[in-house]
């Protein structure tokens, strides 16, 4: 997997599924995943890991529940943002957005605790593309 370059845009062009990350690279015990977001994801939290988001294209709103207060951050193209471990969050993209995430290999997309998972959400640790 580490022997040749993998292009982010070409990978995004190769699938249309929403909320279903593809793994474009692995380093140490981490995955680099790209996914298409459109609509509302579910509230969920990763207990043991922070989650890095980078917006490849589009706009992403991440709702956060912090210390009993709810707020949201809006990420534009090229923005980086880290959701701290343990923080409940809910990504929302009014229009299709393409997102890169970095997290430990094996991390479930829906986290360790989450709302009921609807049919349109792929509960996965990511799909290999190479």
* 100 close to 33: Cβ distance less than 8 angstroms: yes
Among the listed residues 15, 43, 81, 120, the single contact to a second copy using CB under 8 A: 81
Tokens at 1, concatenated: 């997997």
Give me the torsion for CA of 118, 119, 121, 124, rounded to 10°: 110
Backbone angles phi, psi at 8, to 5 degrees: -65, -50
3-state secondary structure of 10: helix
Nearest approach, Cβ of residue 65 and a second copy (Å):
14
What would the x/- binding string for a second copy be over residues 44 to 73, using CB under 8 A?
-----xxxx-x------------------x
* Residue numbers 10-39 binding a second copy by CB under 8 A: 10, 24-28, 30, 32
**Token pair 């996914």 in the structure block, residue:** 35
Closer by beta carbon to a second copy, 49 or else 109: 49
Q: Which residues of the shown chain bind a second copy in the complex (CB under 8 A)?
A: 1-2, 4-10, 24-28, 30, 32, 49-52, 54, 73-76, 78-85, 102, 104
């Amino acid at each position: 997997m580490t022997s040749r370059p993998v292009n982010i845009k070409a990978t995004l062009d190769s699938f249309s599924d929403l909320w279903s990350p593809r793994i474009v690279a692995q380093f140490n015990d981490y995955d680099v995943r790209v996914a298409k977001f459109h609509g509302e994801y579910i509230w969920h939290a990763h207990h043991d890991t922070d989650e890095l988001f980078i917006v490849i294209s589009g706009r992403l709103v991440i709702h956060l529940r912090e210390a009993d207060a709810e707020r949201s951050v809006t990420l534009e193209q090229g923005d980086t943002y880290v959701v701290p471990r343990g923080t409940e969050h809910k990504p929302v993209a009014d229009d299709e957005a393409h997102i890169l995430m970095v997290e430990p290999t094996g991390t479930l997309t829906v986290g360790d605790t989450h709302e009921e998972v609807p049919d349109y959400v792929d509960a996965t640790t990511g799909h290999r593309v190479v």
